[in-house]
Structure 1
Amino acid sequence: MSIYDLEDTIDNFFTHETHVKRRQCDEFVLSRVRGLVNPVQLQGSCSYTVTAGTEKPKIFQFRGQNYDIDMKMLYLAKRIHPQLVARCIYHGTIDNPRDPGPGHVHIYEMDKLPGTAYIMARDISANQPSEAKFFAQSWRNNQYSDPNEAAGLLSEVKSTLRLLLRSRFPRQYLPNLLKVLEKLPLLFSGALPFVLSHQDLNEMNTLIDPETGSITGIIDWAEASILPFGFSLWDFENILGYMDSEGWHYFDNRRELEDAFWQTFWAKASNITESKKKLIRVARMAGLFYRYGFIWNGKTIDREVEASDASSIAYLDAFCMTDDW
Structure 2
Amino acid sequence: MDDYQRLVVAQFFEPLPNLSQNSCHQFVLHHIAPILFPNSTGKVDIQPSPFQGSMSYTAILHTHSTSADHCIAIQFRSDKQDLFGVNEASRIHGTIVPLVTYQGMYEGLFVYTSPFAEGTPYISVLMSSEDFQLPLQKKTATVMDLADLVTRGSRVNTTPFDTTISDLASILENIRHTVNNYIFRHATLRNSISACISRLLPGLRNLATLPVTLTHQDLAPFNYLIDDSTGRVQAVLDWDGAIYLPVGSNFYFMDSLFGFMTPSGWQDTEDRQELETAFYNRALASLAAQGFGGITKEQLESQKAIRMLLYGVERLLKFKDERAEHYLDGYLRGLSFMNGYMFSY
TM-score w.r.t. the length of structure 1 is 0.80
Q: Which residue of 2 aligns with 1:83?
A: 95
Corresponding residue to 1:227 among 234, 245, 248: 245
SS at match of 1:269: helix
Q: Contact (CA 8 Å) 2:258, 2:275: kept in 1 or not?
A: yes
Looking at structure 2, the residues matched to 12 and 32 of structure 1 have their Cα atoms a distance apart, in angstroms, of: 24
Q: Which residue of 2 aligns with 1:294?
A: 314
Q: Contact (CA 8 Å) 1:50, 1:59: kept in 2 or not?
A: yes
Moved more, 177-186 or 230-239: 177-186
Q: Contact (CA 8 Å) 1:230, 1:281: kept in 2 or not?
A: yes
Looking at structure 2, the residues matched to 41 and 149 of structure 1 have their Cα atoms a distance apart, in angstroms, of: 46
Looking at structure 2, the residues matched to 118 and 49 of structure 1 have their Cα atoms a distance apart, in angstroms, of: 18
1:234-313 equivalence runs, <5 A = 234-270=252-288, 271-274=292-295, 276-295=296-315, 303=317, 306=320, 309-313=321-325
Q: Which has the larger radius of gyration?
A: 2
Q: Which residue of 2 aligns with 1:174?
A: 193
Kindly indicate whether residue 37 of structure 2 is the aligned counterpart of residue 41 of structure 1.
no
Looking at structure 2, the residues matched to 63 and 160 of structure 1 have their Cα atoms a distance apart, in angstroms, of: 33
Change (3 A) 1:318 1:154: closer
SS at match of 2:45: coil
Looking at structure 2, the residues matched to 94 and 153 of structure 1 have their Cα atoms a distance apart, in angstroms, of: 41
Per the TM alignment, residue 15 of structure 1 is displaced from its structure 2 partner at its CA by: 2.3
Per the TM alignment, residue 163 of structure 1 is displaced from its structure 2 partner at its CA by: 3.4
Looking at structure 2, the residues matched to 233 and 323 of structure 1 have their Cα atoms a distance apart, in angstroms, of: 11
Q: Which residue of 1 aligns with 2:36?
A: none
1:137-216 equivalence runs, <5 A = 137-138=152-153, 140-142=154-156, 145-147=158-160, 157=171, 161=175, 162-168=177-183, 170-179=189-198, 182=201, 186=205, 189=208, 191-216=209-234
Per the TM alignment, residue 223 of structure 1 is displaced from its structure 2 partner at its CA by: 3.6
Q: Which runs of 5+ in 2 are unaligned?
A: 34-42, 64-68, 338-345
Q: Give RMSD over aligned pairs.
A: 3.0
Q: Contact (CA 8 Å) 1:167, 1:304: kept in 2 or not?
A: no
Moved more, 246-255 or 76-85: 246-255
**In structure 1, what residue type is equivalent to 2:191?**
Q
**In structure 2, what residue type is equivalent to 1:136?**
T
**Residue by residue, what CA displacement relative to the aligned partner does 1:227-265 show, whole Å, maximum 9, x if unpaired?**
221111012111012222233222222222222222222
Q: Which residue of 2 aligns with 1:314?
A: 326
Per the TM alignment, residue 319 of structure 1 is displaced from its structure 2 partner at its CA by: 1.8
Q: Contact (CA 8 Å) 1:183, 1:282: kept in 2 or not?
A: no
**Residue by residue, what CA displacement relative to the aligned partner does 1:128-167 show, whole Å, maximum 9, x if unpaired?**
22122112214x245x525499689759855863534433
Q: Contact (CA 8 Å) 1:180, 1:282: kept in 2 or not?
A: no
SS at match of 1:167: coil
**In structure 2, what residue type is equivalent to 1:8?**
L
Q: Contact (CA 8 Å) 1:132, 1:265: kept in 2 or not?
A: yes
Greater share of helix: 2
Q: Which residue of 2 aligns with 1:9?
A: 8
| Total equivalences in the alignment | 300
Change (3 A) 1:134 1:94: same
Corresponding residue to 2:124 among 120, 123, 145: 120
Q: Which runs of 5+ in 1 are unaligned?
A: 96-103, 297-302
SS at match of 2:222: coil
Q: Contact (CA 8 Å) 1:230, 1:280: kept in 2 or not?
A: yes
